[in-house]
Structure 1
C-alpha cells in the first residue's frame, strides 16, 4: 500500500503514531487483531511500516504500508509571517474569483466554497470592521467633545476584534486552507517543478511495485490534497506501464478520501491534471473508490472528481469507463449521537476522521481497508454508488 497525505508539514512520524494509536482503538471495537510494526526509512522520500491483520476466524493478511513523503515541500511553502499570509490569501482568492473557478466551486459544493473563500472574506471583513471602528471613535469624539469615550471604544473594540478573528481562524483552520490553495494554484500553472519531479518519482515507485507478481493487491491511498497527488501518481504509473509493456493488472486500486480535487481541476490552466483524470476514466485495470462525507466542509462531498472530463459533452466519449465509485463513509454510524455532534462541530477533526477509529462497527473502517484481507473492489462490490447527489450544489450545475 502507498499512502499520500494532505498538505501537512508533519511527516511520517506523526502519521505512524496516529495509525498505531487509532488502529488499536478500532481493533478493540471491531474484534480483529492488528499489529503495527516500527517505522523504517525507505529511501529519501518514503517511510514504511509493516501491518499484520488477523480476523476472529484466523485469516491473516500481511501489508507493507509505504508513506510517500512530500512534507518537506509543504514546509518550504508554509509562510509564517502574518503580512505575507494575508497578501497570499488575498491574491489567491482574487485569482480564483477572476478566473471563474470559485463560482464553479460554489455550484459544486457550497461548504467547500465557503472553506476556500472564507479566509479572504474574513480579511476584508476585519479591515472593514477596523475602518468602521475608527470612524465610530471619531464620531463619538465629535459628539461628546471628549477624547476619553473614543479611546474607551478603541481599547475595548480593537482587542475584541483581534480575538474574534483569531478564534475564527483557529476554528476553521483558514491559514492552513489558504496555504494549500495557493500551492494548488501554482501547481495548476506549472510553477511547482520540484513537486512534479516528486510525483514522477512516486509514479516510478508504483510502477516498480506493480511489476511484482507476489502481491494480491496494490492499493494507493490519497487523503485531502494528497488525493489529487494520488491521481497524478496512478495516471503516470499507468502510462509508464503502457510504455514499457507491463501487462495490465487488475490488482491496482485507488482510494481517495476527503478529496478537494475541483480546487485544482477547475483552474483553467490545469490541463495536465484533467488529462490525468481522463487517464483514470479509461483504465480498465483500475478500481477507484472515492469516499467523502457531507459534514466534511473541506471536501467536495459525493462529487465524482473526474466528472470534469465530460464538460461540454452530451455523452461519454468512446473508451470512457466512468469515474470513481463515490460513497459516503457514514460517520454517523460510527459514533453515539453526542460524539457525532462533536465530530461534525470540529471541522478539522471531521476532515481527518477518514484516518481515525470509530466508537462502533459501521460501513467504513480505514484499518480493515488498508490492512485487512479483502481487496478494495471486493470489499465495496455490493455497496451502491451515490449518483446525482445535489444537496450541496447551488445555482445550477458546475459543468461548463
Structure 2
C-alpha cells in the first residue's frame, strides 16, 4: 500500500522531482552525523516497506568544514495505482553544530542546577515564560517541572531534619529520628531520578539554558556557524548542478538554527528564492518561541519576518499535540509578535501519529515523551498522512505535497491561559520589536 504522503497531488500534478538537495539541522543534541545517518538508513528501510517504495541510503562522507553528507535514491510509483514510476536522487547534507552543543553540555550536577535556576530567573524576569505559557502550556510545564524538582531536592534535607525532630518530639527513639534523615533524603533523590528518566530533564534544561544565553548575551561561535550555514545554502542554490528542490529540514530547537541560517541566506542573496531550485523549509517539533519570546532576541524576530515575507518559499511546520516537547500547532511568526503577511505561511500541520500505530504501541509512545519527540524522524507501523522519508526523498516538492492539507491555525487546545488572561489583562504584549537584519 502506498502512503498518502508519498502520493502525488490528485490533479494537475507538476513535473516530479528528479534531483533534490536537503540541508538537515539537528536539535540540541551532542550526537553528530554518524548517529543521524544511521537513523535515516535504518528508519528509512522500515518506512519504505510500509509505504510501498524503495529507498537506498549511501555511505556517509565529509562535506565541507561543518558538514557531512549521504546520497539517497527513492524509487516508486508517482501515485496509486502505479501508472508511472519515479526515481529521485537526493543529497542529504548534515549541517553540524553538535560540536558546539558538546562544548556547552555541562555534566556536573551543580553546574546544571545553577544554569537551570539562572535561566528560569531570566525567563521570569523578562516575562518570556508567561508569554510562552499563553501560547501553549505543555512545553512550559516541561520547562518548569525540572525547576520544581530541583527546589524539592534542595528542600529535602532540611525537611527530612524537621521530620526527624518531629518524630523525636512525638516520642520516637532518637536513633529512629536520626535514621529518618538519610532515608527521607534518599527517597527524595530516587523520586527525582524517576521523574528525570521519564522526562529526560537534563537534555531539556541544557537546551533551555543554551537558548536563554543565545537570546541575551549570544554565542559568538554559534553566530559564526550560522553565517557559514547561510553561505553554504546560498552556494548550493547558485550551483548550476541539477536541483529541483532545495529543502532545509530541522528538528526541535534546530528549527531555530535553520530559520536563522535560511533567513540570512535570503538576506545575503536577495531574490534567491525566485531563481534556481524551489526553496523550502520543513520544521519538525519546533521550539522557536523559546528564543523569540525573549526581549533581547530582536535579530531572530527580524529573521522570522524575512522568512514570513518570502512568498517564493514553501514553509511547512509539523508538530504533534501529544508532543509536550514542542510548541504544537503554534505559528512561530505570530508567536514572535509579528504580522503574518499571507495565510498558511508557514502551513501548520499535525502528523497524526495516532493513526499510524496500533493503540497499544501509540499509548507506549505517548508515555515516553522523549521518544515521541523524535518520531518525526522515524518510521511508523502504518501508512498515513505523514512520512518523513517521502517528504525528504520522494518525488514531490514540499509545497506540492502538502498543498491539499489546510493549515491548522488558531489551535485552541493549549491556550487556556491566554483565554483567561485576555479577559483580565487584554491581548499579550509582543516580546519586543524585531531588530534590523
Query: What is the correspondence of 1:194-343 to structure 2 with a 5 Å cutoff?
Result: 194-213=221-240, 214-242=242-270, 248-249=275-276, 251-310=278-337, 316=339, 320-322=341-343, 323-343=345-365
Report the counterpart of residue 207 of structure 2 in structure 1: 180
Report the counterpart of residue 35 of structure 2 in structure 1: 14
Query: What is the correspondence of 1:157-196 to structure 2 with a 5 Å cutoff?
Result: 157-196=184-223
**Are the structure 2 counterparts of residues 169 and 246 from structure 1 closer, same or farther at C-alpha, using a change threshold of 3 Å?**
closer
CA RMSD of aligned residues (A): 1.6
Matching residue within 74, 90, 95 for 1:68: 95
Report the counterpart of residue 138 of structure 1 in structure 2: 165
**Are the structure 2 counterparts of residues 260 and 247 from structure 1 closer, same or farther at C-alpha, using a change threshold of 3 Å?**
closer
Report the counterpart of residue 391 of structure 2 in structure 1: 369
Residue range with higher mean Cα deviation, 301-310 or 150-159: 150-159
Does the aligned pair in 2 maintain the 1:241–1:247 contact within 8 Å? Answer: no
Long gaps (5+) in structure 1: none
Tell me how far apart the structure 2 counterparts of residues 247 and 336 of structure 1 sit (CA, whole Å).
43
Does the aligned pair in 1 maintain the 2:348–2:409 contact within 8 Å? Answer: yes
**Are the structure 2 counterparts of residues 246 and 327 from structure 1 closer, same or farther at C-alpha, using a change threshold of 3 Å?**
closer
Does the aligned pair in 2 maintain the 1:45–1:69 contact within 8 Å? Answer: yes
Query: What is the correspondence of 1:43-54 to structure 2 with a 5 Å cutoff?
Result: 43-54=64-75
Matching residue within 123, 131, 134 for 1:104: 131
* Secondary structure of residue in 2 paired with 1:59: strand
Does the aligned pair in 1 maintain the 2:246–2:277 contact within 8 Å? Answer: no
Long gaps (5+) in structure 2: 1-21, 420-426, 430-437
Does the aligned pair in 2 maintain the 1:278–1:309 contact within 8 Å? Answer: no
Does the aligned pair in 2 maintain the 1:308–1:399 contact within 8 Å? Answer: no
Q: How many residues end up aligned between the 2 structures? A: 393
Tell me how far apart the structure 2 counterparts of residues 71 and 355 of structure 1 sit (CA, whole Å).
17
- Tell me how far 1:321 sits from its aligned partner: 3.0
- Tell me how far 1:169 sits from its aligned partner: 0.8
- Tell me how far 1:251 sits from its aligned partner: 0.1
Report the counterpart of residue 399 of structure 1 in structure 2: 428
Residue range with higher mean Cα deviation, 386-395 or 329-338: 386-395
- Tell me how far 1:349 sits from its aligned partner: 0.5
- Tell me how far 1:167 sits from its aligned partner: 1.1
Does the aligned pair in 1 maintain the 2:366–2:372 contact within 8 Å? Answer: yes
Report the counterpart of residue 349 of structure 1 in structure 2: 371
- Tell me how far 1:310 sits from its aligned partner: 4.3
Tell me how far apart the structure 2 counterparts of residues 151 and 21 of structure 1 sit (CA, whole Å).
54
Does the aligned pair in 2 maintain the 1:37–1:50 contact within 8 Å? Answer: yes
**Are the structure 2 counterparts of residues 128 and 328 from structure 1 closer, same or farther at C-alpha, using a change threshold of 3 Å?**
same
User: TM-score, length-normalised on structure 2?
Assistant: 0.87
Report the counterpart of residue 379 of structure 1 in structure 2: 401
Tell me how far apart the structure 2 counterparts of residues 246 and 349 of structure 1 sit (CA, whole Å).
35
* Secondary structure of residue in 2 paired with 1:294: coil
1:35-86 deviation line (CA, Å, top 9, x unaligned): 0000001122100000000014431000000000000000000000011111
* Secondary structure of residue in 2 paired with 1:395: helix
